[in-house]
């Protein structure tokens, strides 16, 4: 059988081939009729505008590891992929593209613009999907969904109509957040609040008909005063009681506005008199309603002053602010300007300061939806991991406010509401109605707005599976098993899915939510594209291999801990892949040699042969084989336990330790001579056990490193119908492989070898030079165990001889190391050049003594101690401690050398 395993591990040669194979063969297509318990997971749909970033890479790696792991354990598995139409983001991208071509999207008109976005989506929007295929995600591509497909649109409409009919969706005039760059209202969640240093301007409003009397109001946004329709004071404020009911003259506008009394006013704040601008402030809006005040909107959509702003019309809002402040000063109406730090709302996308503004929008009533969603998490119907995020969920849900649903965009799910003439009546329906539901008018106009993108993604776990139809997919895969996503969208998305899922299906949308960590830069900062600190996972996958990237991320993915990704870490994972590749090459190169004696790979490693491992020789399974299968079983248990609890790092470290440490460093090294043994039966046993352990290790590693393991798995004989390691079984933790005795005995051998290696390193003996050593133990069983494995110990310890005795070893003449069970010794005569060694040790001692002394002096200096940061002092103390230990070792060594 011809085996082609390239000399060097080159992921770029392997990965694209298997990625293509998995997609073309539709290997991961879910089958509702397949047996087994169900594992179903839907992807958090990435924006169709997006490309794979490092956060996706982590999220998708975790999802794919769990998906592959379940599939290999016989679960009926579905990993459902898809993308989100991402209303604002996509519209922004296409608007900009058009602008770059000199086209004003508004002039194109709505239909043409939508057509352009669809065209753009077809041409450029699939990038992230291609990238997901490229990194080998084991999705069922036949079930790929898009939140704005005609199919999804019907579901969104159905949900909207039903909620409207139930009185949970309503249209109202209300104060909302307006983004003057995105040109749409935003929900509270889309506004980020930042503390910023600004000014507080105190302005004098002259009381009408009372020359010389003023009310002083303070504001952080003077431009809004142009829309003032009252000044309010507290009803019990003695200072102003006589003024309530009178008028003030609004400066700059020369409009008389009333002085009103309202309990909302805080008497202690500022002067106790506040300006009221109902169209531009949430509190003022409420006051305006109570007092039936006019709402005067003074701004345009893009935050310029409008015709209601008198002389300031046409000015941009901050230019207007500057001019207004100057004019007030000139009029002598500016009483005071002070610096003032206050909270400013910023649009999370455009980073523009949001303008609070009154307008008519669609809202969703949240309280009735939130209550069952709170109860579901309280009852444990949904588990939120890490645990501390549960409290955040409860807090937000218990204080939830109504959700602003409409967005003034063209790209998205258009609101299924139609108005008759002058917006008199509204008719909400699945399809365009023929006439107004109230007056029968046939002149109907559809609402111009679209729905918040999160409205459609809120339906994702059930809309993608066919709801409202009772499809086979809904029956089989809903509720989904698990959701993995970032904690930053717990409220935007997770909470809304829970609310809508329970409301529309009567069941929770998923049984568990795992909120993954953030990936940070080496400096610990959050990655940012604009700062240029974002890592491009696609480029890194090219450089290190996707397998290495996946493994690296998994090995750091501890719940609740952010991940700091660095080149060193990636290199470490890449070395691991290299190590496995080289181990495989070693096996095949040596097998070639062995085959010259007339053995076939089929005979040594067919699936049937592997199944019966471990094999015995001379009536007993060799110790090393007993041990490796015991380690395999323990590792499988550890990996299963880790993955079950989203402790990806523990699972990855378990696989790493097994494959690199146990299998490569110990097992292969130990059995090397057996593999070429002239005793053919002995060699065949060694090969069979080795292949069985190796193949199981590949399956163990597969969920983490799918490409490398697929490639190597195909080099081994497999059943004729077997297509992929991904469809093979995950290794079982076999009870019959557990072996405490072998663990203990082989563990003893390892300890002896490591101790001897340490002595050699301290004595600076070349690692290949064979030396004589002594071993002693008072325990007969221990001595027998060593005697049984003398060959292996001698080989791995590079010993010419190992004398075994029961007498305690003399310190004189050599270096002795003791454990509770045994002593080992290497004689000084083994050191070639004693004089040179003495000189070297003396020199090292001298250097260390100086260094320790200088640190002691520094630490004794009270001035230094009181001024230096604690971290520095602790660091010096730590180094001094370590150096003292090293010094003690060297002094002992010097004593030994001088004696010997």
* Contact residues: Zn ion, CB under 5 A: 420, 424-425, 436, 438-439, 441
444 or 639: whose CB is closer to Zn ion? 444
The answer to whether 564 touches 524, Cβ cutoff 8 Å, is yes
Q: How far is the CB of 447 from Zn ion (least distance, A)?
A: 14
Residue 800: how many other CB atoms lie within 10 Å = 11
Report helix, strand or coil for 689.
Answer: helix
425 or 795: whose CB is closer to Zn ion? 425
The answer to whether 29 touches 78, Cβ cutoff 8 Å, is no
| Distance (Å, whole) CA 479 – CA 501 | 9
439 or 616: whose CB is closer to Zn ion? 439
Q: How far is the CB of 508 from Zn ion (least distance, A)?
A: 40
24 or 431: whose CB is closer to Zn ion? 431
| Distance (Å, whole) CA 756 – CA 210 | 101
Q: How far is the CB of 428 from Zn ion (least distance, A)?
A: 13
426 or 564: whose CB is closer to Zn ion? 426
- The pairing of strands 38-42 and 169-179 is unpaired
Report helix, strand or coil for 84.
Answer: strand
| Distance (Å, whole) CA 675 – CA 257 | 99
98 or 420: whose CB is closer to Zn ion? 420
Q: Please count the CA atoms within 13 angstroms of the CA of 627 that sit on its side-chain side.
A: 20
445 or 853: whose CB is closer to Zn ion? 445
Q: How far is the CB of 327 from Zn ion (least distance, A)?
A: 47
Q: How far is the CB of 433 from Zn ion (least distance, A)?
A: 10
| Distance (Å, whole) CA 294 – CA 301 | 20
The answer to whether 207 touches 213, Cβ cutoff 8 Å, is yes
Structure tokens at 748: 């003893």
419 or 478: whose CB is closer to Zn ion? 419
Residue 387: how many other CB atoms lie within 10 Å = 10
89 or 427: whose CB is closer to Zn ion? 427
51 or 441: whose CB is closer to Zn ion? 441
What would you report as the CA-atom Rg of the chain, rounded to the nearest whole angstrom? 37
Q: How far is the CB of 536 from Zn ion (least distance, A)?
A: 55
Report helix, strand or coil for 139.
Answer: coil
445 or 800: whose CB is closer to Zn ion? 445
| Distance (Å, whole) CA 695 – CA 203 | 80
Q: How far is the CB of 430 from Zn ion (least distance, A)?
A: 19
Q: How far is the CB of 170 from Zn ion (least distance, A)?
A: 18
Helix spans in 515-566 (H): 537-544, 546-556
* C-alpha dihedral, 656 to 657 to 661 to 664, nearest 10°: -40
Q: How far is the CB of 421 from Zn ion (least distance, A)?
A: 7
Euclidean distance between the first and final Cα of the chain, in Å? Answer: 58
444 or 668: whose CB is closer to Zn ion? 444
Q: How far is the CB of 417 from Zn ion (least distance, A)?
A: 12
Q: How far is the CB of 418 from Zn ion (least distance, A)?
A: 9
Q: How far is the CB of 167 from Zn ion (least distance, A)?
A: 20
196 or 424: whose CB is closer to Zn ion? 424
- Residue 845: enclosing H or E segment and its boundaries? helix 834-860
| Distance (Å, whole) CA 776 – CA 810 | 11
419 or 617: whose CB is closer to Zn ion? 419
Q: How far is the CB of 424 from Zn ion (least distance, A)?
A: 5
Measuring CA to CA, which residue among 579, 603, 750 is closest to residue 691? 603
**SS3 readout for 738-767:** CCHHHHHHHHHHHHHHHHHHHHHHHCCCCC
* C-alpha dihedral, 16 to 17 to 20 to 26, nearest 10°: -140
300 or 441: whose CB is closer to Zn ion? 441
The answer to whether 369 touches 503, Cβ cutoff 8 Å, is yes
Q: How far is the CB of 439 from Zn ion (least distance, A)?
A: 3
Q: How far is the CB of 440 from Zn ion (least distance, A)?
A: 7
Report helix, strand or coil for 775.
Answer: strand
Residue 138: how many other CB atoms lie within 10 Å = 22
| Distance (Å, whole) CA 54 – CA 51 | 10
- The pairing of strands 38-42 and 76-80 is parallel
Residue labelled with tokens 């801990």: 561
The answer to whether 850 touches 777, Cβ cutoff 8 Å, is no
Answer positive or negative: Cα dihedral of 587, 593, 599, 601: positive
- The pairing of strands 563-564 and 519-520 is parallel
DSSP state letter for 727: G
């Amino acid at each position: 059988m011809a085996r082609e395993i390239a000399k060097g591990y080159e992921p770029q040669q392997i990965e694209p081939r298997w990625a293509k194979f998995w997609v073309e063969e539709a290997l991961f297509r879910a089958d509702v009729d397949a047996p087994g318990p169900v594992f179903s997971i839907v992807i958090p749909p990435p924006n169709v505008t997006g490309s794979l970033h490092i956060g996706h890479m982590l999220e998708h790696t975790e999802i794919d590891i769990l998906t592959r792991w379940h599939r290999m354990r016989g679960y009926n598995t579905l990993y459902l992929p898809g993308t989100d139409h991402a209303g604002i983001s996509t519209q922004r991208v296409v608007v900009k593209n058009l602008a770059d071509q000199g086209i004003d999207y508004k002039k194109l008109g709505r239909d043409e613009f939508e057509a352009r976005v669809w065209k753009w989506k077809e041409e450029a929007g699939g990038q992230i999907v291609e990238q997901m295929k490229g990194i080998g995600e084991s999705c069922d591509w036949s079930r790929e969904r898009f939140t704005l497909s005609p199919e999804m649109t019907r579901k969104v409409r159905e949900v909207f109509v039903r909620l409207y009919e139930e009185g949970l969706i309503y249209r109202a005039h209300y104060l909302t957040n307006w983004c003057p760059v995105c040109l749409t209202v935003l929900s509270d969640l889309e506004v980020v609040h930042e503390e910023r240093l600004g000014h507080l301007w105190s302005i004098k409003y002259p009381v009408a008909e009372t020359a010389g009397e003023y009310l002083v109001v303070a504001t952080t946004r003077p431009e809004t005063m142009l829309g003032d329709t009252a000044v309010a004071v507290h009803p019990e404020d003695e200072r102003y009681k006589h003024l309530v009911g009178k008028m003030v003259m609004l400066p700059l506008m020369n409009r008389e506005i009333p002085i009103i009394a309202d309990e909302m006013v805080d008497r202690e704040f500022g002067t106790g008199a506040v300006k009221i601008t109902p169209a531009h402030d949430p509190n003022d809006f409420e006051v305006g309603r109570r007092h039936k005040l006019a709402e005067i909107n003074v701004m345009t959509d893009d935050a310029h002053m409008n015709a209601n702003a008198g002389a300031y019309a046409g000015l941009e809002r901050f230019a207007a602010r500057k001019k207004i402040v100057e004019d007030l000063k000139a009029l002598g109406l500016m009483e005071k300007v002070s610096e003032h730090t206050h909270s400013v709302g910023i649009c999370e996308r455009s980073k523009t300061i949001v303008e609070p503004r009154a307008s008519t929008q669609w809202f969703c009533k949240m309280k009735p939806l939130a209550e069952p969603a709170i109860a579901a998490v309280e009852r444990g119907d949904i588990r939120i991991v890490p645990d501390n995020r549960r409290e955040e969920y409860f807090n937000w849900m218990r204080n939830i406010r109504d959700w602003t649903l409409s967005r003034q965009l063209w790209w998205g799910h258009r609101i299924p509401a139609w108005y008759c003439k002058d917006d008199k009546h509204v008719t909400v329906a699945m399809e365009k109605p023929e006439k107004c539901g109230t007056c029968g008018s046939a002149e109907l106009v559809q609402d111009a707005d679209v729905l918040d993108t999160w409205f459609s993604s809120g339906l994702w776990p059930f809309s993608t599976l066919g709801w409202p139809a009772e499809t086979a997919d809904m029956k089989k895969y809903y509720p989904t098993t698990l959701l993995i996503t970032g904690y930053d969208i717990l409220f935007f998305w997770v909470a809304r899915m829970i609310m809508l899922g329970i409301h529309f299906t009567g069941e929770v949308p998923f049984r568990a939510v795992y909120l993954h960590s953030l990936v940070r830069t080496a400096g610990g900062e959050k990655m940012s594209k604009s700062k240029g600190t974002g890592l491009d996972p696609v480029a890194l996958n090219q450089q290190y291999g996707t397998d290495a990237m996946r493994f690296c991320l998994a090995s750091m993915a501890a719940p609740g801990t952010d991940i700091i990704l660095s080149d060193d870490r990636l290199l470490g994972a890449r070395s691991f892949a290299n190590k496995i590749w080289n181990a495989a090459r070693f096996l095949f190169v040596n097998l070639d040699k062995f085959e010259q004696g007339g053995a076939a790979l089929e005979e040594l490693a067919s699936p049937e042969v592997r199944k019966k491992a471990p094999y015995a020789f001379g009536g007993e399974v060799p110790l090393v084989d007993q041990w490796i299968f015991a380690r395999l079983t323990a590792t499988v248990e550890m990996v299963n336990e880790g993955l079950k609890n989203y402790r990806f790092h523990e699972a990855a470290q378990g696989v790493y330790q097994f494959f690199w440490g146990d299998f490569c460093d110990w097992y292969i090294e130990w059995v090397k001579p057996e593999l070429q043994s002239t005793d053919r039966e002995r060699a065949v046993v060694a090969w069979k056990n080795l292949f069985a352990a190796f193949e199981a290790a590949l399956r163990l590693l597969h969920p983490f490193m799918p490409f490398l393991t697929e490639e190597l798995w195909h080099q081994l004989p497999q059943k004729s119908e077997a297509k992929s390691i991904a469809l093979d079984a995950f290794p079982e933790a076999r009870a019959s492989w557990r072996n405490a005795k072998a663990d203990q005995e082989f563990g003893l051998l390892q300890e002896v070898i490591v101790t001897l290696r340490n002595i050699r390193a301290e004595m600076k003996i070349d690692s290949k030079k064979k030396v004589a050593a002594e071993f002693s133990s008072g325990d007969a069983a221990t001595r027998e165990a060593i005697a049984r494995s003398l060959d292996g110990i001698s080989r791995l310890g590079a010993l010419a001889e190992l004398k075994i005795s029961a007498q305690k070893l003399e310190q004189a003449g050599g270096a002795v190391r003791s454990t509770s069970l045994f002593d080992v010794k290497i004689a000084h005569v083994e050191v070639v050049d004693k004089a040179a060694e003495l000189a070297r040790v003396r020199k090292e001692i001298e250097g260390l003594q100086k260094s320790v002394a200088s640190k002691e002096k520094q630490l004794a200096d009270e001035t230094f101690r009181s001024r230096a940061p604690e971290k520095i002092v602790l660091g010096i103390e730590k180094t001094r401690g370590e150096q003292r230990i090293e010094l003690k070792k060297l002094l002992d060594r010097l004593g030994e050398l001088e004696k010997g």
